[in-house]
Amino acid sequence: MSALASRQRYLPALVTGCLFVAMFVAGGIRYEGFASGQVILNVFVDNAFLLVVAVGMTFVILTGGIDLSVGSVVALSTMIAATLMSGPGWPPYVVIPLVLLIGSGLGLVMGYIIHVFDIQPFIVTLAGMFLARGLCYTIGTESVPIEDATFTAFAQTRIDLFAEMWISPSVIIAAVVVAVAAYVLHYTRLGRAVYATGGSEQSALLMGLPVGRTKIAVYTISGFCSALGGVLLSFYMLSGYGLHAVGMELDAIAAVVIGGTLLTGGSGLLLGTVLGVLVLGLIQTIISFEGTLSSWWTKIFIGLLLFVFIVLQRLFSSRSSR
């Protein structure tokens, strides 16, 4: 890879990182108590589940696909976990692997349909979104509290760091997911196949890469990450509810795009996705510090950022194609 290509590869993530730093500095100047390490850690604590879901979405978008089912799978995961632990009283160490298996299975089925029947991912995952959300309401229409002692104790655990700063176990889990995903994308055959498939599916086929298996794999990974995100959301909310994670699929897509991953696939970094989630979380934090703004301003700012980054993607891709 040439030096110019390498710079272009890292440039979108660098822009997102600079935006995050600029927002943090501006918040520190405007609000008392904003410029602290705990504020950044709170962004991780409050968005660990979104980060995990966005990791799965990154795999899918890198292949040029899309997964609209992730928010519904997150909600379904919370409902299954809460219902099994509160009703039959199943222990968490049985419920959590079962939830992860169900989420992975849903992703596997969607990936298989997309590949074998050559149907647009938008349509298949839209059907998956309605299916998973509908299953939530067949389980129950009310919020189901989670009162299992082991699950609750883990969810309420604080991991002390230094200078009175702390994180939750969910942040550690999210960090492990990011590290494993980064290794897979950049140091394994699957990762190379993901980038090649997104860059040009026809070229990937001519190179003998397993495009079909790669597509199935990324949707399976997305399903697994969605289910794990549901488990982390259960830790955060201590409940299961069919209306949890409404619109989370759009937040995940926004985080990936703001992080610099091309919607057409083939280019992007997982680091950019992490920065994209941090930017979204910091917008929410700034609005809460402001106090006078409606929470809907979060969506407005995210929409504006998406417009800006989509235009930047277009400019970068036009420049690189010359």
The domain spans of the chain are 14-22+37-315
Residue 321 is encoded by which pair of tokens? 């194609």
Mean pLDDT of the chain: 91
pLDDT tens per residue, range 205-255: 999 999 999 999 999 999 999 999 999 999 999 999 999 999 999 999 999
Q: Which helix (H) or strand (E) holds 239?
A: strand 239-240
pLDDT tens per residue, range 3-56: 545 566 788 888 899 999 999 999 999 988 888 889 999 999 999 999 999 999
Q: What's the pLDDT score for residue 224?
A: 98
Cα dist. 120→115, 199, 204, 301 in Å? 9, 17, 19, 30
Cα dist. 114→36, 198, 293, 297, 302 in Å? 46, 15, 42, 36, 30
Q: What predicted TM-score, i.e. pTM, was given to this entire model?
A: 0.94
d(CA 246, CA 115): 27
pLDDT tier, 310 (very low <50, low <70, confident <90, very high otherwise): confident
Q: What's the pLDDT score for residue 267?
A: 87
Q: What's the pLDDT score for residue 222?
A: 98
d(CA 145, CA 239): 4
d(CA 241, CA 201): 39
Q: What's the pLDDT score for residue 7?
A: 60
pLDDT tier, 291 (very low <50, low <70, confident <90, very high otherwise): confident
Q: What's the pLDDT score for residue 87?
A: 80
Q: What's the pLDDT score for residue 89?
A: 86
CATH code for residues 14-22+37-315: 1.10.3470
Residue reference for tokens 């994180």:
167
Q: Which residues pair with 160 in a beta bridge?
A: 166
**Residue-by-residue DSSP string for 27-75:** HHHHSTT-SSHHHHHHHHHHHHHHHHHHHHHHHHHHTT---TTHHHHHH
Res 300 pLDDT > 90: no
pLDDT tier, 298 (very low <50, low <70, confident <90, very high otherwise): confident
pLDDT tier, 67 (very low <50, low <70, confident <90, very high otherwise): very high
Residue reference for tokens 């809907």:
296
Q: What's the pLDDT score for residue 5?
A: 52
Q: What's the pLDDT score for residue 193?
A: 96
